[in-house]
Amino acid sequence: MKILLLILLALLQQLHALISITPVEISASPGLSVNIETGLETKRGNTHKDNYKASTRVTYDNNLSYVTWAELSGEYGETNDIENTNKIYSHLRYIHKLSDNIVRWELFYQNQEDKFKSIKVRRVSGAGLRFNMFDTLTETKGYFGVGVFNEYIRYIDTKLNLNENNIRLNTYLAYSLKFNNKSTLAYTLYYQPNIENFNDYVVSNMFELKLNIYQKLFLKFTISYDIDSSVAYDVTSDYDFIQNTSFVYSF
């Protein structure tokens, strides 16, 4: 994992762009586009720390009836030569127009590995409907989505954890506001309960503020807070909180 991320970071070193949580809409960016983001944190002295991040998104918008994208991201970290982060994530989504402005249907698939959540592999595949809530406001995007997905989880330590195969309800809200020409404020909320047991649920929140500093240079603030009510037995916390500040270049 570390070697893979180091290679990817080296390949992407000259390209810095933004992968945003801002909702994607048909005809918003026609044709093929690629976003790439890399990150590296290094500390030496009293604390010896390395953290590597890399992600990319490839999007195709036919400017008429559909938009589709694939996303890949990975992160690896060590503190005082002890590994504390090791995860990779991929996502594929297809959105198709059902009505001119309001209703879309979507298909999605994702794959996830996270060593420190004891997840060897988590595969998700599903479908749903997405509704545009702010059709008349050109600078505001707001969507409500509802659907279902199949979730398969294989844990690293199978002696403590049984593999899972669940059907979950997928509901989400996605909102973004554009201001000062290029700056944006965005928020997403996902609620994903097990349809056979609503006490087993996943909640994901993400807030993003992207401020345009100069031409294509942005300052980005992100906060995420995720809750999983049924974590693996060998995982100590049912939530993750992450705050990040970065400079990004968008193209």
What CATH number is attached to the domain comprising 9?
A: 2.40.160.40
Looking at 22-26, 89-93, 109-113, which range is the least confident one? 22-26
User: What is the mean pLDDT of the segment spanning 35-45?
Assistant: 75
Burial of 164 (0-12, 13-18, 19+ CB in 10 A): middle
- Return the pLDDT at 10: 40
- pTM tops 0.95, yes or no: no
Alpha carbon 162 to its chain's center: 26
- Return the pLDDT at 19: 47
- Residue 233 scores a pLDDT above 50: yes
- Residue 17 scores a pLDDT above 60: no
| % of the chain exceeding 70 in pLDDT | 88
- Return the pLDDT at 221: 86
User: What is the mean pLDDT of the segment spanning 165-169?
Assistant: 96
- Residue 82 scores a pLDDT above 60: yes
- Return the pLDDT at 226: 93
User: What is the mean pLDDT of the segment spanning 9-23?
Assistant: 45
- Overall number of domains in the chain: 1
- CB contact burial 178-196 (16+ within 10 A = b; e otherwise): beeeeebbbbbebbbbbee
Tens digit of pLDDT for each residue in 136-163?
556 788 999 999 999 999 999 888 888 9
> Mean pLDDT in the chain?
84
Q: Which domain holds residue 184?
A: 2-249
Place of tokens 């004891």: 118
Distance CA 172, CA 129 (A): 11
- Return the pLDDT at 24: 81
Tens digit of pLDDT for each residue in 186-231?
999 999 999 999 999 999 999 999 888 887 777 878 899 999 998 8
List the one residue out of 69, 73, 108, 109 whose CA is nearest residue 89.
73
List the one residue out of 108, 142, 105 whose CA is nearest residue 125.
108
